[in-house]
């Protein structure tokens, strides 16, 4: 590796015992914003409030000259332009997307990277063409096991210069609801979310949803590129091969009640009935139950889930109410999915800070009458 590149792009590391957020982490956090939690009130997140994560720079792609190449283990390679995609039957899927690193900044020790707390999530209506239709047209060779999706963005990460690329197992790529998406909430994709076309893999953590697609290549062995083989794995040590991050673990977030303090964002409510609401999701199975606590997780009661609307890949709203009395309280919420996966009250640690779905807690001060 180039010595200067190695110096520019240090290996991953864990923060020291009392080490605060560094200017580098702050720079990442300012570029890659989360959803403001009050925006959990919208079933479909307005585009500008959807979380955002971009490893390198957003590439400037021109929709008119953009092409997508389908290559590798196919009967015939294809070159598609945007009109070729738009002329097919469109499909829209409502999808809750969450970054695998959501919750990283709450892990101890803290993996130094994009320091998400809980806000790396959003829900959008993605419109496009099922990937399987395009693959069928190219004719998938029986030897193919994965699709490797390449974005037009380029950078360096832990000393490895690369285009953003992810391999996805073929059986996942062939699911009906996996899209080559060209619209978000009914508008052409904006630059930050992958203009003109991105992949959408409902139920999987964000890293699989490759933005600014330029090539999809079918390969006959599992992809060993950086984002699959090195990053996005649940590892205990730097050389642990670990398990890959795939589907989203269940999580629920509470729309913080009352009003906030500017600096601390601590919540203030007045005594009496306080309506509580939020959203819950899981990439493994539909949400079956949401429970709420007003004593930091000592005792729980069931929230009421919004009516089932058949949108499997989107979060489910829930609501309940709490009788606030003067003093300090800690609200907590936890979700369980239909496979029995639930949120932990103590988080298992991993070196990349992935899959942290610790129960969401919100301290609240209730004023005297």
Ligand X SMILES: Nc1nc2c(c(=O)[nH]1)N[C@H]1C(S)=C(S)[C@@H](COP(=O)(O)O)O[C@H]1N2
By the 10 Å C-beta count (0-12 exposed, 13-18 middle, 19+ buried), 350 is classed as buried
Q: Given the complex with ligand X, which of 104 and 193 has the nearer CB atom?
A: 193
Tell me the two tokens of residue 308. 């089932």
Instruction: Give residues 305-364 in contact with Mo ion (rule: CB under 5 A).
Output: none
Q: Does residue 200 interact with Mo ion by CB under 5 A? A: no
CB-based closest residue to Mo ion = 99
Q: Identify which of residues 97 and 364 has a Cβ nearer to ligand X in the complex.
A: 97
Cα gap 16→263, rounded to integer Å = 25
In angstroms, the CA 345 to CA 154 distance is: 38
Residues 140-179: x where in contact with Mo ion by CB under 5 A, - otherwise, as a string: ----------------------------------------
From the CB of 181, what's the least distance to Mo ion, in Å? 17
Tell me the pairing of strands 187-188 and 179-184: antiparallel
Nearer to ligand X, 33 or 311 (CB): 33
Locus of tokens 């103590």: 346
For residue 196, whether the previous peptide bond is cis, meaning omega lies within 30 degrees of 0, is: yes
The distance of closest approach from Cβ of residue 10 to ligand X in the complex, given in angstroms and rounded to an integer, is 19
Point out which residues bind ligand X (CB under 6 A). Answer: 50-55, 97, 99, 151, 153, 164, 193, 206-207, 209-212
**Partner in contact with 35, chosen from ligand X, Mo ion, none, beta carbon below 5 to 8 Å by kind:** none
User: Residue 362 carries which DSSP code?
Assistant: E
Contact partner, 211, from ligand X, Mo ion, none, Cβ < 5-8 Å per class: ligand X
DSSP reduced 3-state for 270: coil
Give me the least distance between CB of 263 and Mo ion, in Å please.
Answer: 28
Query: Closest separation between CB of residue 39 and ligand X, Å?
Result: 13
Question: Cβ closer to ligand X: 56 or 349?
Answer: 56
- With CA atoms as reference, report the closest residue to 83 among 102, 68, 98, 96: 68
Taking CB under 5 A as the criterion, the residue among 206, 244, 257, 278 binding Mo ion is 206
- Could you check whether the bond before residue 109 is cis, i.e. omega within 30 degrees of 0? yes
What angle (nearest 5°) sits at the alpha carbon of residue 354, between those of residues 240 and 336? 125
170 class by beta-carbon count within 10 Å (0-12 exposed, 13-18 middle, 19+ buried) = middle
CA-wise closest residue to 320 among 308, 332, 301, 304 = 304
Closest separation in Å from C-beta 210 to ligand X = 5
Task: Answer yes or no whether residue 39 interacts with Mo ion by CB under 5 A.
Answer: no
Any contact of residue 99 with Mo ion (CB under 5 A)? Answer: yes
Separation CA 147–CA 162 (nearest Å): 17
> Count residues contacting Mo ion (CB under 5 A)?
4
Applying CB under 5 A, the span of 95-103, 163-171, 179-187, 227-235 interacting with Mo ion comes to 95-103
* Residue whose structure tokens are 């079956």: 288
Q: Least distance (Å) from ligand X to the CB of residue 185?
A: 12
To the nearest whole angstrom, how small is the minimum distance from the Cβ of residue 101 to Mo ion?
Answer: 5
- Choose, by CB under 5 A, the member of 15, 35, 37, 53 that binds Mo ion: 53
233-234 vs 68-72, strand pairing mode: unpaired
Residues 11, 203: Cα–Cα separation, whole Å: 30
Residue 82 or residue 305: which is nearer to ligand X going by CB? 82
- How many whole angstroms separate alpha carbon 67 and alpha carbon 69? 6
CB of 207 to Mo ion, least distance (A): 5
Say which entry of Mo ion, ligand X, none residue 351 contacts (CB below 5 to 8 A, set by partner kind). Answer: none
Q: Which does 223 bind (CB under 5 to 8 A by kind): Mo ion, ligand X, none?
A: none
Q: Name the pairing type of β-strands 160-169 and 146-157.
A: antiparallel
Per CB under 5 A, residues contacting Mo ion are 53, 99, 206-207
């Amino acid at each position: 590796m180039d010595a200067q590149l190695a110096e520019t792009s240090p290996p991953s590391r864990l923060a020291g015992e009392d080490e605060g957020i560094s200017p580098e982490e702050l720079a990442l956090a300012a570029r890659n914003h989360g959803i403001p939690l009050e925006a959990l009130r919208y079933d479909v997140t307005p585009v500008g409030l959807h979380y955002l994560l971009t490893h390198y720079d957003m590439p400037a792609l021109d929709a008119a000259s953009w092409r997508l190449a389908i290559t590798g283990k196919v009967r015939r390679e294809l070159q598609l332009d945007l009109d070729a995609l738009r002329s097919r039957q469109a499909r829209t899927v409502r999808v809750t997307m969450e970054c695998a690193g959501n919750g990283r900044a709450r892990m101890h020790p803290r993996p130094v990277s994009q320091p998400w707390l809980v806000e790396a999530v959003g829900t959008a209506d993605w419109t496009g063409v099922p990937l399987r239709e395009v693959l069928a047209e190219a004719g998938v060779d029986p030897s193919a096991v994965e699709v490797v999706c390449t974005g037009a963005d380029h950078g360096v990460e832990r000393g490895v210069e690369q285009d953003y690329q992810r391999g996805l197992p073929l059986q996942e790529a062939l699911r009906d609801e996996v899209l080559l998406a060209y619209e978000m909430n009914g508008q052409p994709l904006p630059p930050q979310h992958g203009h003109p076309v991105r992949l959408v893999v409902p139920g999987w953590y964000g890293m699989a949803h490759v933005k600014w697609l330029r090539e999809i290549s079918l390969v006959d062995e599992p992809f060993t590129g950086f984002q699959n083989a090195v990053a996005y794995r649940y590892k205990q040590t730097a050389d642990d091969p670990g398990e890959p991050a795939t589907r989203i673990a269940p999580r629920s977030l509470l729309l913080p009640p009352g009003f906030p303090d500017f600096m601390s964002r601590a919540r203030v409510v007045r005594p009496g009935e306080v309506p509580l609401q939020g959203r819950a999701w899981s990439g493994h199975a539909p949400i079956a139950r949401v429970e709420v606590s007003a004593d930091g997780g000592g005792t729980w009661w069931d929230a009421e889930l919004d009516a089932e609307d058949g949108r499997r890949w989107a979060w489910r709203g829930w609501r309940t109410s709490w009788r606030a009395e003067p003093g300090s309280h800690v609200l907590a919420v936890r979700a369980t999915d239909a496979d029995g996966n639930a949120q932990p009250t103590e988080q298992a640690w991993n070196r990349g800070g992935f899959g942290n779905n610790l129960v969401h807690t919100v301290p609240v001060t209730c004023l005297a009458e």
